[in-house]
Amino acid sequence: MKVGAVIITMGNRPAELRGLLDSVAKQDGDPVEVVVVGNGSPVPDVPDGVRTIELPENLGIPGGRNVGIEAFGPGGTDADVLLFLDDDGLLARTDTAELCREAFAADPRLGIISFRIADPDTGETQRRHVPRLRASDPMRSSRVTTFLGGANAVRTKVFAEVGGLPDEFFYAHEETDLAWRALDAGWMIDYRSDMVLYHPTTAPSRHAVYHRMVARNRVWLARRNLPAVLVPVYLGVWMLLTLLRRPSRAALRAWFGGFREGWTTPCGPRRPMRWRTVWRLTRLGRPPVI
């Protein structure tokens, strides 16, 4: 089973990128072919054998990753599995690629694996990095309904069947959009605590556009994927949760601006999931209203 890796970078973490590439090169088994995409920036020096693509403008996270997917052939089909890794991460073990091969070979309906993200100094995993509602035990592997964008492995047949990440999202919720489409097509998603990416503990709100993008893309996610009757329920629940978290006035203003933008701008094609997929999500512990 051929494994490739897609890494996007803005060229501002050359030391971290080199460390990540070294950790990929140390993986057991057949070598992992790597493509590094400079997302609107030059790519720093990389080891021999690593392919690079430099984009003239920043296409955002999903857009940059889609370029990396296409570098492995249409829909990434020149590889069986693609790893997607943040450029400031580091694979903690040398057997991660082999564990991916084994997992995908053992379960033909497994489409996506979400890795565990751990702080390199403390080893701790933040609750938000466990892609399920019951997140108190990050060491428990399980079937899940979404995955972590910068620490995962995807069977390329998933892209061939349901398409790539939504370019228009730019940042935030693009993984859930792909996850819902994959689940609707019959694929499964696993969270694996033994597949670890070391990544410094950070807050997502460090990005200036965080609150606007999160709100806008949440609306787009619902408009694109949910049965019509669930759209207001899903968005109403998330509005309530946002208010209960008591963000600052500036953050709340940005959030409501993004929420409004989500309703007034094109979101891409609408393909509502089937009700049996809603039931599958519910059985997996996360009905698509929260």
Q: Secondary structure of 31-72 in the HEC alphabet?
A: CCEEEEEECCCCCCCCCCCCEEEECCCCCHHHHHHHHHHHCC
What percentage of the chain carries pLDDT values higher than 70? 98
User: Which pair of structure tokens corresponds to residue 109?
Assistant: 């309906």
Positions in the chain whose pLDDT score sits under 50: none
Q: Where exactly are the structural domains of the chain?
A: 3-202, 207-283
pTM for the structure as a whole: 0.96
pLDDT of residue 207: 55
pLDDT of residue 208: 61
Distance CA 177, CA 223 (A): 11
Fold of 3-202: Spore Coat Polysaccharide Biosynthesis Protein SpsA; Chain A (3.90.550)
